[in-house]
Structure 1
């Protein structure tokens, strides 16, 4: 049976936070792009141009991120029964790809200046513009990452990391221009541009990899640990076992499915009630942003040693309480013979008999 929260209003608090954050990012990115191109106009520095070129990517990425956040907030429909949350992963991957393209352009500009250096003008004015732009970017990047983590938005986190990358870029450019000013070595301008390109290339590659992993529903150990601890904390005595626990994110929404082993003599109504309790507990934990599918399995003879239904007339083996619940045991696939991992001694609570049903 599948249970999920009632559809949220389209204009939710989290959606408003996301849109405010990404709108701020777009506005600031546009202003900083103009400032950096003005600095390039003053200095004709290849390093400054490389920084300005990355700013174009910031603006395009922020605009794409805004569209993806809007789409991800739309409720499920007949064509997209699992919602639209994965658009955020496409956005993060797109932003990573743009960063990689920017790095290629920066390499070309830097190599040209390295091979054929030319004098730089108005360095003091250009440096002041870059320092001011870097300070604004630093504050924006930190805010975007914090809000993104708070509302579980990979798009905002990716945009924040991209903005911070821009800060590192600007910092490297400023340092390079100061060295050029002190030493008079014009080839340093091109060298700094190439180093900036390497840093940007690594960041873009990481973002693409993270996006690809999310789109492929890769296992999220931290999410599984969180769910496992929640189940252990609220475990009912007649929940004999849980296995094949799966969980994955789709934007802000969490999908969970698992197998719950219950006494085989249970009536359908009793089993349904236990499944509802487990489902609602998980949904409430994620503030309603979760869909839960519980498969109910009847107990087998091999489950007797971990079954707390002590007075069961169908018991074939004594209770020994040796299988501790953890992520390894709850995610194991019983059909593959993995549901019984190496025995781990569970703590003796001294409550034997309280689980009689």
Structure 2
């Protein structure tokens, strides 16, 4: 089974257990911050399920209907997860505001503190595993799921701190205040995730550092061509796509030009994993009809 699928399944198991545990403790103690964490974990569980199916689909090879592969399913998953977090955050703020106005007191804050600390401890290790696999496989879906769990770590610790302060001070209004603070924090993370996941769906170019690697790789073989232009890049899941026009002297043999293109493609795949390169060969036009290895600068990067 694909490593990404195994890791996504682990996230589902973890979130299922924590959601049930937080829900039961939240109902028993009457803590809106714990109930908000249960809602947060429920969103994480839904997100983990979406991640599980998206990585299964995205790992499929290209087919007749999807000639560029299924990578964008992961990007769609990231957008859906961000929207779910956004909705959960708004719901938490509304419910916490109601509790702040009503002034209802909690039950056992010690039990709530213990559960929240345990939740943070478990999610810390699960999120670290998700991040590790996400970076290894360049998986947007797993990266988004890891972010969910990482925010769950912070929010659980925040709730635990709030419950601990309530236990010491007996100031029960701290519970909904902590819940609102956590919701705002989660909301900010959701907006950042939405931006990151949405960009590949509208074919935003690769990062400046990746483009720098691409241009440096092309320049390694500059002694064999006159110049290049129309460089375009985009990303789909863990796949990077690069296409460009490479200009050669009009009298160069086709095989020699093709060999240079092969060398560039091979070198680029070593520098950037999962990169597909499409190079269009061009002959110098009338403006550089005398283009040769000695005056190739006349048409480079035009």
- Cα drift, residue 151 of structure 1: 1.1
Deviates most, 253-262 or 221-230: 221-230
Q: Pick from 116, 122, 127 the counterpart of residue 130 of structure 1.
A: 116
Equivalent residues in 2 for 1:278-357, closer than 5 Å: 278-287=264-273, 289-300=274-285, 309-310=293-294, 319=295, 329=301, 339=302
Mapped pair 1:203 → 2:189: yes
1:243 aligns with 2:229: yes
Which has the larger displacement, 269-278 or 19-28?
Answer: 269-278
Contact 2:268 2:275 in 1 (8 A): yes
1:99 paired with 2:82, answer no
Residue pair 1:130, 1:174 contacting (<8 A) in 2 also: yes
Answer yes or no: is the 8 Å Cα contact 1:103–1:200 preserved in 2: yes
Shift of 1:94: 0.3
Do residues 228 (structure 1) and 181 (structure 2) align? no
**1:286 CA drift (Å):** 4.1
- Residues 259-282 of structure 1 show CA distances to partners (whole Å, capped at 9, x for unaligned) of 111111123333333223322332
Q: How does 1:163-182 map to 2 (within 5 A)?
A: 163-182=149-168
Q: Contact (CA 8 Å) 2:12, 2:48: kept in 1 or not?
A: yes
Q: CA deviation at 1:163?
A: 0.6
1:93: Cα distance to partner? 0.3
Higher-Rg member (1/2): 1
Shift of 1:147: 1.8
Quote the Cα distance in structure 2 between the aligned partners of 1:267 and 1:235.
16
Secondary structure of the residue aligned to 1:78 is coil
- Aligned partner of 1:47 among 30, 33, 51: 33
What is the RMSD of the two structures over their aligned residues, measured on CA atoms?
A: 2.2
Separation in structure 2 between the aligned mates of residue 308 and residue 263 of structure 1, nearest angstrom: 6
**1:25 and 2:18 are equivalent in the alignment:** no
Structure 1: gaps of 5 or more residues: 1-10, 311-318, 330-338, 340-357
- Which structure is higher in helix share? 2
Q: State the 1:185 CA deviation.
A: 1.8
